[in-house]
Structure 1
Amino acid sequence: MESHTHSITHLFAQLGLPSETSDIEAFIEAHAPLAHELKLADAPFWTAAQAGFLKSELDEDADWSAVIDTLDARLRHGI
């Protein structure tokens, strides 16, 4: 199985969100900090499809999981 490295820009595009750097920064600023007890996929700002994608990719430790973890960290710390 071939592994792919994805960027946060690609993740936002995959989620159907604006994916310019300024859009990503604005999204993080608007939604951070995410409560530590809340799983990323359970955050209220996702659509059902977005939440399902995040959950399945993390559960399967799929190609997207590393960049999803990066987004998770940035949302928790506002960085």
Structure 2
Amino acid sequence: MDSISSTETDKTPPIEQTLADLHTSSAGMTGSEAQQRLQQYGANALQEKIVSLLMHFLHYFCGPIAWMDALRAAVLALCG
């Protein structure tokens, strides 16, 4: 008995269709195609987000426990 049902395989397009959609072949891209896509789409990399040490430190005080402590302090100050 095959572990993949027929409904799962029906959803997957044939490899030839996928390669055609991506405008490539099973042999891969040539160097010139890769260079052209690099210029068209840019590098396949995420930009690193730079956060200052101060903001990183202050981020620790933005959680639910910090808010509960502030609320508790305010209630205690009011009730005395």
TM interval, shorter chain, is: under 0.3
Identify the structure with the greater helix proportion. Answer: 2
**TM-score computed with the length of structure 2 as normaliser:** 0.21
